Amino acid sequence: MSAALVVKPARVAEGLLLATLVLAPWAYGCAPETWRYSLSALLLAAGALWFSATPPAEGAAWRWRLALLGLPTLGVTQMVLGTSGSPSETADATLQVLAVLAALAAWTEIAADRRAAVRIATVLVGSAFLQALFAVLQHALAPRTIYGRVPTVAQMPFGSFVNHNHFAGFVEMAAPLAVGGARGLWRRAGGPTPQSSPAHFARVT
């Protein structure tokens, strides 16, 4: 097989993580259990791929990985010792925390590369922009609905999220990146220009 056709596991891991940023919000914010567990599985798979494909971490990076394992280890310890008040809920929380921490650890190392950091910012800002556009249009046409249906698990949906606060949190993640990107364009241009506004950065990404 041609070397050009070989996809490195680390690239696959990054692609999976980027895909979660794009797809997760549209599945009702992954609030339903099926989507929530699917998201956790994707994050765990991406994290496992990344750490298996990258050299063993050394120094501060290695300590960072070990520190992230502390919280899920606490949950496992509670279940093994029988000290959990609700083993099923502890297992559920431990799984989700492990998935999120695996993604966080991988993102932290991936984003050390400037080009990768730009890809992450571009995908997140673009995803938030599309979500905001969809949310405004949907609210104008059919308030309190998601995809034209009234959700049974929420009273205040917005966008594709069953909770309007979840929508706000998602969009707020992208806002600092849009401002930071605009500041970078501003500095590169030597001053304010129409191209250095956060809105322009959101459009071009």
The predicted-structure confidence for 5-34, as pLDDT tens digits, reads as follows 345 888 999 999 999 999 999 998 888 889
pLDDT of res. 57: 56
CA distances from 167 to 34, 76, 128, 136, 197 (A): 19, 31, 9, 12, 23
Sign of CA dihedral 14, 16, 19, 24: negative
DSSP string, 121-167: HHHHHHHHHHHHHHHHHHHHHSTT-BTTB--SS-SS-BTTBSSHHHH
Does residue 21 sit in helix, strand or coil?
A: helix
Residues 6+ apart with CB under 8 A from 169: none
What percentage of the chain reaches a pLDDT higher than 90?
31
pLDDT average, residue stretch 152-172: 87
Q: Are 205 and 121 contacting, i.e. CB atoms less than 8 angstroms apart?
A: yes
- If one compares 45 and 79, the residue with the highest pLDDT of the two is 45
Residue 52 is predicted with a pLDDT of 84
Q: What is the pLDDT of residue 2?
A: 38
- Give dist(CA 201, CA 195) in Å, integer: 7
Question: With contact defined as beta carbons under 8 Å apart, do 70 and 48 qualify?
Answer: no
* Mean local confidence (pLDDT), 35-47: 92
Kindly tell me if the per-residue pLDDT of 144 is higher than 60: yes
Asked if the model's pLDDT at residue 198 lies above 70, the reply is no
Q: How confident is the model at residue 160 (pLDDT cuts 50, 70, 90)?
A: very high
Non-local CB neighbours of 131 within 8 Å, separated by 6+ positions: 25, 26, 159, 160, 167, 170, 171
